[in-house]
Amino acid sequence: MMKKNTIWTLLGVLIVSLVWFTPFASASEFNFGVQTVIPDNQIDKQKSYFNLKMEPNQKQTLTIQLRNDTEDDVVIEPKIHSATTNLNGVVEYGPTKAERDPSLLYELGDLIQTEDEITVPANGSKDLQLHVTMPEEEFQGILAGGITLEEKEASSSKDEDTTQGLSIENKYAYVVGITLQETDEKVKQDLKLHEVEAGQVNARNVINATLQNPTPTYLNRFEVDAVVTKKGKEEELYTSQKQDMQVAPNSNFEYPISLEGEKFESGTYTLHLKAKSSQESWEFTKDFTIENNDAKQFNAQDVTIEGPNYVWYIVGLLIVLLVGLLAFLFWKRKKKEQETNE
């Protein structure tokens, strides 16, 4: 039986700029177009995503116009998510496997209600309504997230490669950004360092440092300079520097420090980490331990680490066997000569 795997290829999930760039973004792969209807309480009316200032307990209906230029009806599934930060230091507004950060007071999906699915008629258009209800208590800072507009899976394009036995499914989605705030008061930024532990990214050894932004504001132009040493030593074993990142409000992410193909060695280490945003800077020092079992497991799974070269073992064994055989033949010959002389 042919094995089928669903592959979300690198270009398979196409996020169209959170509708940041074009009001009616479109691509040949899409069967529908998207346009936001900007309300009067938009903070920056030059932006095409929802950037709203609201009051506690305020209710408001937002509208997204959906257009279908094809000859068939298009069924779209809207999904609302709070913003998160990925391991590259990039804010994501769409679907994610990241767990809710403990500092996040309100999930955007709890404050905004919409339809589970909407059908846009062939060669027609339809309005999608988003019903926003703000929390009763006033809050400081920003709630950030987005609404993903994806065509229902039944009508997604599929290509099968029968030679490889793979089913490749390309999915395309628009993500419309949403930010909600009640005041213009700036929130003081903060950053926390949590777990530091051995791990892997793409089957390569890394040391993961979990960084958390516990404040309801973006950390813009975010930079990290990380150094790992043996505990009590000054020699720099592993380093990592990265700039031009951004951290979503009330989110956390694992910052990876690559071992560059080296093996983990068990022991106690120290992470020295400096970070800064456009407004603040922080310094952390944290000890962590790599257990022997974890080191062995990750080393065995790292695709850049070469395993034992069994060829030399085989060559060595053959040499030993050959020497043994020659010694046996020599002994047998000597024995035969002795018997003849007798």
Overall number of domains in the chain:
3
Provide the 8-state DSSP code for 96.
-
* H helices present in the chain, as ranges: 108-111, 292-301, 310-341
The tens digit of pLDDT for each residue in 42-93 reads 999 999 999 999 999 999 999 999 999 999 999 999 999 999 999 999 999 9
For residue 209, what are its two tokens? 């440092």
Q: What is the mean pLDDT of residues 227-244?
A: 97
272: in domain: yes
On whether both 42 and 58 belong to a single domain, the answer is: yes
**pLDDT category, 40, cuts 50, 70, 90?**
very high
215: in domain: yes
The tens digit of pLDDT for each residue in 109-136 reads 999 999 999 999 999 999 999 999 999 9
Q: What is the CATH number of the domain that holds 18?
A: 2.60.40.10
Determine contact, residues 130/145, Cβ cutoff 8 Å: no
Q: Which domain holds residue 315?
A: 309-342
Q: How far apart are CA 276 and CA 296, in angstroms?
A: 35
Q: Is residue 12 scored above 50 in pLDDT?
A: no
The pTM for the full model equals 0.79
On whether both 174 and 232 belong to a single domain, the answer is: no
32: in domain: yes
